[in-house]
Amino acid sequence: MSIKFKNVSYIYNPGSPLEAVGLDDLSFELEEGKFIALVGHTGSGKSTLMQHFNALLKPSSGEIEIAGYKITPETSNKGLKGLRQKVSLVFQFPEAQLFESTVLRDIEYGPKNFGFSDEEAEKVARKWLEKVGLKADVAEKSPFDLSGGQMRRVAIAGVMAYEPDIICLDEPAAGLDPQGRIEMMELFKQYQAEGHTVILVTHNMDDVADYADDVLVMEHGQLIKHDVPREVFKDRDWLFKHHLSEPHSSLFADKLGKAGFAIKQPLTINELADEIAARLKGVPHE
C-alpha cells in the first residue's frame, strides 16, 4: 500500500478576504514502511500538508489515498475515526495536550478512545511508558508535575500507544536535550523498522540525513522536490536558493574542500569520518 496525493490543493478561508493558498496542486506517492522527512522553510505548507494525512483538513480539490481510505473534498467527518486510529499526528509541543489526572490515564486516553478495553489500554500504556524511556514510578504522578522532557515523552507515548500504521511527527525533538533527542529519534527509527511508516516534519537536516529514506521538500505550498536525502542534498546552490540548510557533515566537508582537502560529499558524521579516513590512509574507519 502507499500514500497517494493526486492534485491536492488546500485553500484557507475560501471566498473571504482572508483567502490564502495552503497547498498548491500536490501530487506524490509515498511508499509505506519508510521513514519520510518533510522539510521546507517556515510557512511552506508542511503543517497544512501534515493535517491532510488524517483529514483534520480536507483538500479543497484533489484526492488523497492513505491507509485504505480515500479523502476527497466531499469526505464527511463520519467514519474518520478508523483513519485516525491508523494515521496519528504528533503536533509540535505535544505536551500541551496532556490533561488527565495521572500519566497512565493520559496515555490510556487514546487507546480507550479507539475502543481498547481498560485492561488492554493499561497494558499498552505501561508498555509505551517504558518504551519512551520513562520509569514505571511516574505512572501514577500527575502529568503536570513532570519535567518538560518527561511531559513530551508522555504525550508521544499517548499517540503511539495504539500503534498507528502511520505516524506523523511535527518537530518531535524540538527543545529536548541532546541525549533525549537521540533517544526519541531512535525510538521512531525502531518503530519504522518494525513495519510502520514514519513521517517527520523537521528543520534539522542532520536528522533527515541520519534517518530519512525519502524526502519531501515544500516551498510556497508546492512540492519542489521528492527524492532520497542524497539527491536532495546534492546541489548546494539549489538548497541555498530554496532556503534549506545542509547536514553539518556536508558543511564541514565543504570547509575541508575549501582548505584543499577535497572529499566526496558525506551526509552523516560516520560517512564524513569514513571519507576523511579514506583520504588519509586509504582504509575505511570502523
Partner 1 sequence: MKSETKAKFGLTKLELRDLVLLAMVVAIKVVLGKFSVGNATLQVGFGFIGSVMLGFFFGPWWGFVGGALSDLVSSAIFGNLGGFFIGYTLTAALGPMIYGFFFYKKPVQIWRVIAATILVTIICNIWLNTLWVSLMYGAKFMAALATRIVKEMITPWIQMIITWFVLQALSRVKQSKKF
Report the interface residues with partner 1, using CB under 8 A: 99, 101, 142, 144-145
Handedness of CA 54, 56, 58, 62 (dihedral sign): negative
Grid cell of 140 as nine digits: 501514577
Is the separation of the CB atoms in 244 and 41 below 8 Å? yes
Residue owning grid cell 501514577: 140
Phi, psi of 224 (to 5 degrees): -100, -15
What angle is formed at CA 245 by the lines to CA 280 and CA 206, rounded to 5 degrees? 60
Residue type, 35: F
What angle is formed at CA 224 by the lines to CA 38 and CA 219, rounded to 5 degrees? 70
Is the separation of the CB atoms in 44 and 220 below 8 Å? yes
- Taking the least distance from each CB to partner 1, the nearer of 106 and 170 is 106
- Taking the least distance from each CB to partner 1, the nearer of 99 and 261 is 99
Minimum distance, C-beta of residue 226 to partner 1, in the bound complex (Å) = 39
Minimum distance, C-beta of residue 171 to partner 1, in the bound complex (Å) = 23
Minimum distance, C-beta of residue 143 to partner 1, in the bound complex (Å) = 8
- Taking the least distance from each CB to partner 1, the nearer of 7 and 101 is 101
Phi, psi of 207 (to 5 degrees): -65, -40
- Taking the least distance from each CB to partner 1, the nearer of 106 and 275 is 106
Minimum distance, C-beta of residue 100 to partner 1, in the bound complex (Å) = 9
Cβ count near 96 (within 10 Å): 10
Minimum distance, C-beta of residue 123 to partner 1, in the bound complex (Å) = 25
Minimum distance, C-beta of residue 102 to partner 1, in the bound complex (Å) = 10
Minimum distance, C-beta of residue 140 to partner 1, in the bound complex (Å) = 14
- Taking the least distance from each CB to partner 1, the nearer of 18 and 283 is 18
- Taking the least distance from each CB to partner 1, the nearer of 104 and 216 is 104
- Taking the least distance from each CB to partner 1, the nearer of 99 and 240 is 99
Residue type, 159: V
* Burial profile 134-165: b = 16 or more Cβ within 10 angstroms, e = fewer: beeebbebebeebeebbbbbbbbbbbbbbbbb
C-alpha 197: how far from its chain's center? 10
Minimum distance, C-beta of residue 187 to partner 1, in the bound complex (Å) = 26
Nearest-angstrom CA–CA distance, 70 and 136: 40
